[in-house]
Structure 1
Amino acid sequence: MTRSAHAPLDILTARHQQTWQAYCQHDFVRQLAAGTLPRQAFQHYLKQDYLFLVHFARAWGLAVYKSRNIHELRQGCDSLKAIVDLEMGLHIQYCAQWGITEADLATLPESRQTLAYTRYVLDTGLRGDLLDLHVALAPCLLGYADIARWLCAQDFTRRGDANPYDAWLGMYVSDEFQAAAQAERQWLNTQMADLPARRMDELAQIFDDATRLEIDFWQMGLDAASL
C-alpha cells in the first residue's frame, strides 16, 4: 500500500500525530492483541460497538442525502447496505460467542462515550457537507485498518488459539477490510486535493475531534473492567 508523504490525508494525520498515535496504540488494543484484555472490558466494548454501528448506518444514510452525484449516492448506499445487511448481523453473531444475546443488545443503554462520539459525527454531517461527514467517520474506518496492521507487526501480539481476541484482529487485518479502508483513503485524498488552507484547518479539527472521541471509546472498555 503506497502512500505519498504529501497526500492530504497523511498531512492531516501528521498535524495531529500525537492524538493519532494515542488512538492507534492505546492500551486497549495492545492488551487485546496480547490476549490479556479483561473479558469484561471486551464485552462492554462489543455492546457499545453495536450501538455505534446503528448510528454509523444512520451516518451513511445521511451521506446518501448529502450526495451530489450518482457516484457519491452509490457509495453511501453501498456502505449503508453493508452495515445493515451484513456487518450488524455478523456483529450480533460475534456477540453471541461472548455471551451477549440479541435481546441484550436491543435494550442496551448508550454509554456517555457512545453518545458523544456518534452524535458528534451526525452533527458534523448535518452542519457540514459530505466531505465533513467522511472526515468525521475516517478515524473509525482508517484507524481500525492502521491499528490492525500495526498490531500484527508487534512482538507482543499473539495470533491463533493463543489469543481469545484473534477473530477481532483477523477481521480488521483482512484483505476485504483493508481494501475498503484504502478505497476511502483514496476518495478522501481526491476530495481534499488543492483545498485552501482554511478549509484544511476545518477538516483537521474535525479529524482531531473524532480521533479524540475514538480514544475515549477505547478507554471506556478499560474503565468498565475496573468497576
Structure 2
Amino acid sequence: MSGVWTQKIWQQAAPIIDQIVQQPFNQELMEGTLPQEKFIHYIEQDALYLKEYGRALANIIPKLQNTEQTSTFLGFLKDTIIVENVLHQQYLSKTDGQTQLKATPTCVLYTQFLLAQTSMNHAAIGMAAILPCFWIYKHVGDYILANYQKNNHPYFEWIQTYSGEEYGQAVKVAIHLADQLAQNQSSFVQKQMDEAFMMATKMEYLFWDSAYQLATWPI
C-alpha cells in the first residue's frame, strides 16, 4: 500500500503507532467497555478538529503540481469529510445538544500545527502533516475490527467507518499522493516531511489520551 517515502516514515513512526493502539482509550473501545462519557468527549473534539482539518486540507490544493493531483485530492477530500461528518452526527445526535463545544488544549495545538504546516510550507510537507490522521485511524480501525467483541458492540459504527472499504480507499489515495509529492524533493524538504509526519503522529497519541482523560482547560 505504501511507496518509498511512506514505507520509510511508517517504520520510523511504528513505536508511537504501537503505543496508540495500546492506549487505554483504544483498548477499551475495542472491548466495548469505554465509558460513553469519554467516547462522546472524543467525538465532540473530533468534530471540532475536523472543521479545522478541512481548512488544512484546502490549504494544500493550490500548491499541487498538476490537474490530476488536484482532481484526486479533491475527490479524496470530499469523500473523507462526508464519511466522518456522518459518523459524528450519528453519535452527537444521541446527546442533548445543549453543550457549547470548546476545543481542548490538545485539539487547539494539533489543528494549529496542521494549519501552519499546510499554509506556510511546500505541498509535500503539508501532505506529510495531514497523513497520520488518515493512515493511523485506518490502522487502529483494522486492529479493532480484527479483535473486537462482535455482539451488540456500542461503538460498532465507529469501527465500521474506519475499517471500511470506502475509508480505506481514501487512505490509499492519500498515501500514493504523499509518495508522489516526496519524489525528487531535496533532502532538506524530505527531512521536513519526516518531522511533520512524526509530530502529527505524536499529536494523534495526545488526542486520544486527552479524550480518555476528559481533558478541559484548567482555567
Q: Give the structure-1-normalised TM-score.
A: 0.85
* Residue matched to 2:165: 175
Say yes or no: does 1:14 pair with 2:11: yes
How far apart, CA to CA, are the structure 2 residues paired with 1:208 and 1:183? 20
Pairs within 5 Å for 1:1-227: 7-82=4-79, 87-97=84-94, 99-101=95-97, 104=99, 107-154=100-147, 157-161=148-152, 163-193=153-183, 195-224=185-214
Task: From the superposition, tell whether residues 18 and 52 of structure 1 become closer, same or farther in structure 2 (CA, over 3 Å).
Answer: same
Residue aligned with 2:172, SS:
helix
Superimposed CA distance per residue, residues 156-206 of structure 1 (whole angstroms, 9 cap, x where no aligned partner): x21241x20111001111111111111211222233245444333221111
Contact 2:39 2:211 in 1 (8 A): yes
Q: Which runs of 5+ in 2 are unaligned?
A: none
Q: 1:24 to 1:193 in 2, by over 3 A?
A: farther
Aligned residue pairs total: 217
Paired with 2:150 and 2:96, the residues of 1 have a C-alpha distance of 24
SS of 1:115's equivalent in the other structure is helix
| Percent of pairs with identical residues | 22
C-alpha contact (below 8 Å) 1:23/1:211 kept by paired residues: no
1: distance between equivalents of 2:145 and 2:2?
19
Deviation at 1:85, TM superposition (A): 5.3
Q: Which runs of 4+ in 1 moved over 6 A?
A: none
Q: Secondary structure at the match of 2:93?
A: helix
- Higher mean C-alpha displacement, 36-45 vs 191-200: 191-200
1:121/1:177 CA distance change after superposition, 3 Å: same
TM-score, scaled to structure 2: 0.88
Cα RMSD for the two superposed structures: 2.4
- SS of 2:137's partner is helix
Q: d(CA) in 2 for partners of 1:49 and 1:195?
A: 32
| Higher deviation after alignment, 136-145 or 14-23 | 14-23
